[in-house]
Chains A and B, each alone.
Chain A
Amino acid sequence: MINVRNLSKSFGGLQVLKNIDLDVKNSEVVVLIGASGSGKSTLLRCLNFLETAEAGEITIGDEKINPATTNLNKMREKVGMVFQHFNLFPHMTVLENIIEAPVHVKKMGRDQATTLAVELLKKVGLHDKAHFYPDQLSGGQKQRVAIARALAMQPKVMLFDEPTSALDPELVGEVLQVMKDLALDGMTMVIVTHEMGFAREVASRVVMLADGHIIEEGRPEEIFANPKHERTQRFLNQIL
């Protein structure tokens, strides 16, 4: 579903990603881990071209993406993204947030989009909040709306950048539950998270990033039980 070859990205003089190779198969759940500043967010943002890498190749589905010639907007319809700080549109209700892109990007009829939105809101357990504004929701509710909003474009892949890091501890579970359900539905996902319990339970593969390199990857039970790389050990000790 996603193939990354030789991806490199610098900010000014700082090289953040160095020759990254990564493959994500259909319905796989890949969890990216690594210390702060290791390049996890940057890698994720390169996958939907919110950042443009200066070298390397990215293939999504069976389309090789060339930022100069590919229609990136079309490509992004297939790649949903969920952010740490939700980024809901504060001037729109929950329902309007969700139907915004289907109506204005996909040109879906308003009725059809609303039906879809209500279905998605049920899925994330928030159909009674359709007419609330984001300001009237808790963090966990906001993030579930953000997930529903991304799903409304019916993407083939979902990217999550620390979706629970900004939440109060008691609200983390409800968001992880929605993500688990998505994984069970067979959604292909790439997730940056520090929730190791979640990774152990849901991830098909865990990928460890350090200084812009992938230094280790494998099934969660392998990585957590006996990490091969000394930096992975140290990282896991710190956060577990």
Chain B
Amino acid sequence: MACTGCALLCEDIEVRDGEVRHACRIGTAHILNRQQIDPMVDQEVVDIDDAIRRAAALLADAERPMFLGFGNSITETQATGVRLAEKIGAGIDPCSVHTSLIDDIVHSRVKTCTLPEVRDYADVILFWGADPMNTHPRLMSGYAYYPRGKNRQHGWETDRTAIAIDVRRSHTASICKEMYEIVPGRNIEFIDALMLALRNKVPKTVYDSKRVLKLAGTLKKAEFGVIFAGPGLVGSVPRGAIIRLMDKLNEFSDFRILPLYSPYNLRSIAAVDTAAVTTATTVMADAACEHPGGCTPTLASLREADCLLCVGFDLASSLPQACDIDASIIVIDPSETLTAGCADVVIPCAAGGVDLAGTAVRMDGAKIDLPCITKNGQTGAGARTRVSDASIMNRLLEAV
């Protein structure tokens, strides 16, 4: 079975007698627990049919509806969500700083690879603004560092060089052979310095130029280099900077990039080829603009909407300031979220890969089947059978 605890979608999961095998801490907690919530309208518990009817009425009346999330939904739900968005003229914002990089990967503006290719061929691996030990706990052991691969028979000991570039000495950084510490907000200067160093020029920079030159030397010698780009990188530099860096690296060696984000099916929704899906300036990318204080467009773009549909995305947790906006809020989520506490309509649903079968796209583009693990998303007593978000979306589509 597959785990939908993060975008790695590990496929070797076994669940027997309420015990989860092979999953990491996040995966185990994701599979076994669910903070289930009742359907609600105006914060009062109602029948699920009433909640769906109310949501349909709000969406039908909305003049400027906006959908947020879908990264934690199976592909089938996303497809119906896109049809619903197109029918009522809503935009879909996956609310991730990674959507533009996914767009660049899907449209071959940067070179990428699959996770098995990382395992078989990668010799230089960069974790940039990423801490997979805390976000994708099985990445290092499954693909990126420890395993032996076709051309990397000696694994991490001699065949791979892992390098962390981050604002913080993370757990991942402590495992890597080298760590480059970024001054908060100054990732772009590190990229500029590295680009110069790649051309054998000594960069004038706030960073230690000798070390930057050493890094450039290591990257140039890479046979198969991979950058795992975390939110600390993609959320803090302009989109074009990553493309330029990848182009420069590929003048000297063979470098690929893979985005490291958590929502298990973000790649699928970000790659949907429709005007409805925003990939350029998402709410979160806006929020992560480089200059603290220059971020007001974020709430402004949300404030333009008169109805927000949050699907598997906790807006109030990511942008607490959004609690005060005037738009009506509809939440569809397998778990209790903070947003549910300020929503006009709350519709609980089944969780993809847990009590709902479907498909998803892994972070490297591989299509993964998600069988059902449990019947009701909760292994203990008091478990309830839950409606799939795909069927909720279908009913909304029919009703509006």
Does B associate with A?
no
Residues of A whose CB lies within 8 Å of any CB of B are: none
